[in-house]
């Protein structure tokens, strides 16, 4: 191993700028889900990102296949009948441009050792990592005996519907590595449950409440429009003046905006829901009349990310607390509608949890509509795949950290013999950014460039270790 590990390391380090350039080109594609059509099932931008990944695979000499609707693309080496899959995704979550400080979401910049841009970490870094792992192995003359299959999907953030197309057309690999999580290796992931809470009684004074980028991002900003009255405007000025989290304007109607602290729904501890912030001002306004009852019920639902305020908190030995966060808010036909993203451990009785919310919402004069349920999984620490990936991690880093479990969801839950791993290894002091900025699904999403290079080195060794295990 020593004879090729230094060659891999030196090759990756010497191509730093080429790696950054490749990632920057991918980030420039605004591959957020849109309504699909023939040839672009998840929208034109997601199609463009998938096709860009295909072109990169061809450049490195891989055989390629792209689904006719651009649901996914594959790059394949010419190995034997054992198959190692690397699963990445080309789509990203949406971004509110005005929330970004350092740059526009799809205009990546390099700053103080970081690349800034939507998808820089999640998950266009995964595509780049897989490609440069292949290039590094070719350079070092240590291509695996197994066939290496690189997958880039176009709908991971939107529910992983792209994998349904893959499973109909392809055979699952013997081992799969998903660079879209945490190091040293994730041996399990929480389940994901998503539902909508739809209030039945329409507002009288509130015209609209709108906010949210995606179901799996804690609501970071929200806008409320209300019928004009002098009394209401006076009450809102009293509640909001001098507080930076609010913006209040008035014309034919009154418009109030509020900001919270957004995070990925899976890692919501410390988040502050913007609707909760807004309701702190609205609930002081007697002029809102009957609308206050609806708003106060909504306040209870979004008050904390663990459902403890409403008495439905649960926990798990391995995965700790169940989270339940609001990501999108809207008013439809005059009625308030809220989305919720729940992450639960393998020990949690999710059916009982759902029944609890159904009963609670019914008492609030609201309906509960479950739109997605995807149970999690956990692999024992002493399983062969976990042990081999941990060994590869240690061989590169010298770090003896134990395998972890993840609160997020990746393709790994849908594959066999699959693990998820990180996208970078922190090496550089964090950028000076406000809370709620810099992380995945947050404004000013960043990736540590030197940490990305180290991660490419790790995944290269993991591929070789998996190949060794498959041919033992």
Q: What are the Cα distances from residue 349, in Å, to 309, 322, 375? A: 19, 11, 11
On whether the CB atoms of residues 319 and 344 are closer than 8 A, the answer is: yes
Distance in angstroms (rounded) separating the CA atoms of residues 233 and 113: 47
pLDDT tens track of the chain, all 472 residues?
567 899 999 999 999 999 999 999 999 999 999 999 999 999 999 999 999 999 999 999 999 999 999 999 999 999 999 999 999 999 999 998 999 999 999 999 999 999 999 999 999 999 999 999 999 999 999 999 999 999 999 999 988 999 999 999 999 999 999 999 999 999 999 999 999 999 999 999 999 999 997 899 999 999 999 999 999 999 999 999 999 999 999 999 999 999 999 998 998 999 999 999 999 999 999 999 999 999 999 999 999 999 999 999 999 999 999 999 999 999 999 999 999 999 999 999 999 999 999 999 999 999 999 999 999 999 998 999 999 999 999 999 999 999 999 998 899 999 999 999 999 999 888 899 998 899 998 999 999 999 999 999 999 999 999 999 999 8
β strands within 23-69, DSSP E? 63-66
Q: What are the Cα distances from residue 76, in Å, to 80, 82, 130, 425, 456? A: 11, 12, 11, 27, 18
The conformation of residue 267, written as its DSSP 8-state character, comes to G
Distance in angstroms (rounded) separating the CA atoms of residues 389 and 396: 11
Domains of the chain in start order, with CATH, are: 2-190+377-470 (3.40.630.10), 191-374 (3.30.70.360)
The conformation of residue 203, written as its DSSP 8-state character, comes to P
Distance in angstroms (rounded) separating the CA atoms of residues 249 and 95: 24
Nearest to 127 by CA among 371, 465, 452, 344: 452
Distance in angstroms (rounded) separating the CA atoms of residues 261 and 95: 14
Entry field: residues in the chain: 472
The pLDDT of residue 1: 57
Q: What are the Cα distances from residue 149, in Å, to 123, 152, 164, 436, 463? A: 17, 10, 17, 36, 11
Q: Is the dihedral of CA 342, 346, 350, 356 positive or negative?
A: negative
- Collapsing DSSP to helix, strand or coil, 381 comes out as coil
């Amino acid at each position: 191993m020593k004879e090729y590990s230094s060659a891999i390391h030196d090759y990756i380090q010497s191509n730093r700028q080429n790696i950054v350039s490749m990632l920057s080109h991918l980030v420039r594609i605004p591959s957020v889900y849109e309504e699909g059509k023939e040839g672009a099932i998840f929208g034109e931008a997601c199609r463009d990102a998938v096709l860009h990944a295909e072109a990169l695979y061809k450049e490195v000499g891989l055989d390629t296949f792209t689904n006719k609707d651009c649901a996914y693309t594959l790059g394949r080496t010419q190995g034997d009948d054992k198959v190692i899959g690397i699963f990445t995704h080309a789509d990203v979550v949406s971004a509110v441009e005005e929330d970004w400080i350092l740059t526009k979401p799809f205009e990546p910049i390099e700053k103080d050792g970081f690349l800034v841009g939507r998808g820089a970490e999640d998950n266009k870094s995964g595509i780049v990592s897989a490609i440069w792992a292949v290039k590094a192995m070719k350079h070092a003359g240590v291509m695996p005996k197994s066939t290496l299959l690189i997958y880039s999907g176009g709908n991971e953030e939107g529910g992983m519907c792209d994998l349904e197309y893959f499973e109909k057309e392809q055979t699952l690999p013997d081992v799969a590595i998903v660079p879209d999580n945490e190091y040293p290796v994730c041996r399990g992931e929480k389940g994901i449950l998503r539902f909508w809470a739809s209030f039945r009684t329409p507002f009288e004074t509130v015209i609209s409440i709108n906010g949210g980028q995606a179901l799996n991002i804690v609501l970071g900003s929200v806008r409320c429009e209300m019928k004009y009255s002098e009394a209401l405007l006076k009450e809102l000025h009293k509640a909001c003046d001098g507080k930076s989290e609010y913006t209040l304007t008035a014309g034919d109607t009154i418009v109030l905006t509020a900001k919270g602290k957004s995070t990925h729904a899976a890692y919501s501890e410390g988040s502050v829901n913007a609707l909760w912030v807004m309701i702190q001002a609205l609930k002081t306004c007697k002029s809102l009349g009957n609308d206050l009852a609806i708003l106060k019920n909504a306040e209870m639902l979004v008050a904390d990310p663990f459902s403890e305020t409403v008495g439905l908190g649960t926990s798990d030995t391995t995965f700790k607390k169940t989270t339940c966060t609001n990501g999108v808010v809207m008013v439809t036909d005059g009625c308030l509608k809220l989305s919720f993203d729940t992450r639960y451990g393998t020990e949690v009785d999710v059916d009982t949890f759902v029944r609890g919310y159904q009963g609670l919402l019914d008492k609030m004069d609201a309906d509960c509509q479950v739109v997605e349920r995807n149970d999690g999984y956990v692999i024992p620490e002493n399983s062969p795949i976990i042990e081999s990936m941990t060994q590869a991690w240690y061989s590169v880093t010298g770090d003896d950290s134990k395998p972890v479990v993840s609160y997020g969801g990746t393709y790994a839950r849908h594959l066999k013999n699959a693990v998820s791993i990180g996208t970078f290894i922190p090496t550089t002091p964090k950028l000076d950014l406000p809370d709620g900025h810099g992380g995945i699904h947050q404004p000013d999403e960043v990736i540590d460039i030197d940490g990305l290079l180290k991660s490419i080195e790790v995944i290269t060794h993991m591929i070789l270790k998996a190949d060794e295990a498959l041919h033992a």
